[in-house]
A and B are shown apart, each in its own frame.
Chain A
Amino acid sequence: MNAAAGTGRLVRVVGAGAVGARLARAILAAEISVDLEIDDVKPDVTRALITGLGDRARAVGELGVGQPDPAVVVLARPKSHIETASKALTAGISVVSVCDDVDDVRSLMSLDRLARRNNATIVVGAAMSPGLSGLVARHLASRLEHLDEIHVAIHGTGGPECAIQHHRALGGTALGWTDRAWMERPAGSGRELAWFPEPIGAKDCYRAEMVDPLVLPRAFPEVERVSARMSATRRDRLTARLPMLTPPHPEGGLGGLRVEVRGHRNGERIALVAGLAERTAVATAHVAAVFALALVHNELPPGLVLPGDAALDTERLLDRLSAAGLVLHEFVGTESRSSW
């Protein structure tokens, strides 16, 4: 088990945006003995958040020379996370990253050896997708005798940076895991109608430059196909390769996650579908908070940790998310009709 350096009850949250602010509140609400350090490039944003959090939160460096290192650093700011993560791991401090950028996540996954060498842990993709998608997939897979496909779809965005990433993802190159091999397709192609939990309902979703096909095959070595799609409007798709025409909204609206696993049970081929309708920033914050607190409690092994990995106690993590207020749903009553 991990024995992180620094003070075991101090967590540093890097980024005080839509996700970071909720993450800080979620950690303080869930664990009474944890203190927080907030680190953001905008001092006024940091100060405003700390004022709202009370006396268990302070700005990084507020105590001056000699202040203790945190046990965990949670990276909730826009990419890139690689430099901060490398420095923290080198110092033996565990890291949780909510990054959903493919290149950044690929780099973060390469820090496994550095983390192990320093007896620290790096949790990569502790967001809604990736993150909650892997946990839900693991939960559904436990009902199958053999899992061979995972298909993820998301709707909505968190804060402004997430909206920018969403826009970028529709204009990039989509990864897919097909027959145990990587496949690249143009983002914005491959339209499928995905049915999200109410009140979101049915949304047309498209391939996009998303992280799930990169991380899920590693967390589920037996899986043969992984795809990821995101909902988009006609305007989103037409303007995907242009600069954003309108500034992103400071607070994303209701978001959705849909995870479909396929495999065999009792000799039959079946598909199981589960999902979530929640503000994307809220869901992401709770997932990151649950992983950060699992690190505080030394519940995660050293090295690279990917949500959904069989070595994790996924049910306990999901129970904590449920206790925090995230309500997962499963689709029942008819077989999935999606073809992907």
Chain B
Amino acid sequence: MALSMAGMIAGALRIRGKGGVPPQNGGWRELPLDES
């Protein structure tokens, strides 16, 4: 019983939440290959 509870809690902790906040401004543009 204790082991299954621990497993469930570990599983919930493993999948919850988010990894961060995306950038609030800026964006993608084509990479100029001859710039370097």
Contacts and interface: CB of A to CB of B under 8 A. Distances in A.
A234 interface: yes
Contact of B28 (A322, A329, A337, A339): A329
A106 B20 CA distance: 33
Ordered nearest first, which 10 A-B pairs have the shortest CB separation?
Answer: A333-B26, A334-B26, A193-B20, A191-B19, A328-B31, A193-B19, A142-B36, A329-B28, A234-B15, A202-B22
Interface of B: 11, 14-15, 17-31, 33-36
Given A188-B14, A191-B19, A204-B18, A332 B36 contact: no
B30 A328 contact: yes
Nearest to B34: A315
Nearest to A274: B31
Nearest to A197: B28
Interface of A: 139, 142-143, 188, 191-195, 197-198, 201-202, 204-205, 234, 237-238, 274-275, 315, 318-319, 322, 327-334, 336-339
Contacts of B14: 188, 237-238
A329 B26 contact: no
A334 B19 contact: no
8 contacts: A204-B19, A237-B15, A238-B11, A315-B33, A315-B36, A332-B26, A334-B24, A337-B21
A191 B17 contact: yes
A333 B33 contact: no
A332 B11 contact: no
A329 B31 contact: yes
Given A193-B22, A333-B27, A328 B33 contact: yes
